[in-house]
Structure 1
Amino acid sequence: MRVILNCIAFAVCFSNKTLFSLLYFFSFCCDAVDGWCARKFNQVSTFGAVLDMVTDRPSLVSLSLLALDIASHWLQMYSTFLSGKTSHKDVKDSTSWLFRLYYGNRMFMGYCCVSCEVLYIILLLIAKNQTENLMTVVVESLTQISPLSILLALSIFGWLIKQIINVIQMKTAADVCVLYDIEKQHKA
């Protein structure tokens, strides 16, 4: 459902911003309900977790951040299997307090994830056209004191934390993979 809604939303994103926002937001809500139902009814699967991770990535961010997000999640999932853990969210042994906070506190993780989704919608809604400079849009919006500028600032903060988490996640997962290889060589 989320993939179909996103396809329709992005097909109309520049011609009907209101419809895009509604479809995109509904898609995001479907994702949250799907995850809750999977956990509640014990229908969690590896395939579902990976599919969820891939479909959660928005299409409006720059390709480099999109690549970082997908790669860090993929590597995190891979390192989870190498270390014998059952969930990529099991980071209790991480040395990063921010990483532990992110995966250990659903409210904080939810804030960061929702901030990303809300930020993309706000930026699309306030941009006058698709070629407008993104930094100009953000700066102009933040200089105006309004509920939208406050929501934008809160969203940017959560989005920024999410990008930092992606970098930490990439490094942490890469370290697990390297340690796995070192241990494997010592056993051989």
Structure 2
Amino acid sequence: MEHINVKKWNSYSVYLLIPNIVGYIRTLLSVLAFYVCFSKPYWFITLYGISQLLDSLDGYIARRLNQASAYGAMLDMMIDRSSTTALLIILSNFYPAYIQYFIVIILLDVISHFTYIYSSLSYGKKSHKSIAKNQFSILRIYYGYKPMLFLLCLGSEIYLLWLYMRRFKIQLALDPYLESCAYPIFTYLFGSLFVVKQIINIVQFLQAVKDMVRLDVNK
């Protein structure tokens, strides 16, 4: 989400900007989803899925209505990181043999985003999605081409939800042939998107480190 000068708003109005209200709704949906995650899997998938789909809506509204704010960007990032982390914790409980991998993914997700946003702010950028020419091209594609950003984020979330569904043996209510086709699609296609997303997280972290070192050298 891009930031703009918020001096035309007072504190109260910033809290009630439409994109931020969407953020509050996302937060409520996430809390409700994780409250029932162990007992009502269908409700969890529905609530969590709606919350994640609204993630693209708040950014669109912010750009459309010129209501992008620093507070909204922080709220959006907080919801994204906390919900993904919580889902990975649940999956580590369901798949204890892979708990070390889930821990690494959680750490990578949180650290890469924190360091990259910190480095972006240190350079005076209004948004971490603003990629300079001297930064890695893959980040320019990832953040600059919105369909790519949407596809990788959506694919990653679908893959994690697929792992959740497999734990509860939830079927897709499809024809048996289509059901057999869906398995490799969800496992390998969305799994590949999830892996690509983790690679970008690594690149993002390396870019943040590189930028901060450059900042120290140029002081």
TM superposition score normalised by structure 2 = 0.72
Deviation at 1:79, TM superposition (A): 1.2
Deviation at 1:154, TM superposition (A): 1.7
Count of aligned positions: 170
Deviation at 1:37, TM superposition (A): 0.8
Contact in 1 for aligned 2:41/2:168 (Cα 8 Å): no
Aligned pairs (5 A) from 1:2-21 = 2-21=26-45
Select which of 60, 68, 75 maps to 2:87.
60
Give the Cα separation in 2 of the matches to 1:39 and 1:63.
35
What is the aligned partner in structure 1 of residue 112 from structure 2?
A: 72
Further displaced range: 57-66 or 169-178 = 57-66
Letter in structure 2 aligned against 1:48: G
The superposition leaves residues 139-182 of structure 1 with CA deviations (integer Å, 9 ceiling, x where unpaired) of xxxxx942233133221111111100111001101111111112
What's the secondary structure of 2:186's corresponding residue?
helix
What is the aligned partner in structure 1 of residue 65 from structure 2?
A: 41
What is the aligned partner in structure 1 of residue 97 from structure 2?
A: none
Gaps of 5+ in 1: 130-143
Contact in 1 for aligned 2:120/2:128 (Cα 8 Å): yes
Letter in structure 1 aligned against 2:141: L
What's the secondary structure of 1:15's corresponding residue?
coil
Select which of 158, 163, 175 maps to 1:118.
158
Q: Residue 26 in 1 paired to residue 45 in 2?
A: no
Aligned pairs (5 A) from 1:99-178 = 99-128=139-168, 145-178=180-213
Deviation at 1:105, TM superposition (A): 1.1
Give the Cα separation in 2 of the matches to 1:37 and 1:103.
18
Deviation at 1:106, TM superposition (A): 0.8
Contact in 2 for aligned 1:94/1:172 (Cα 8 Å): no
Q: Report % sequence identity.
A: 34
Letter in structure 2 aligned against 1:16: K
Q: Residue 183 in 1 paired to residue 210 in 2?
A: no
Further displaced range: 89-98 or 75-84 = 89-98
Q: 1:94 to 1:162 in 2, by over 3 A?
A: farther
Give the Cα separation in 2 of the matches to 1:169 and 1:156.
20
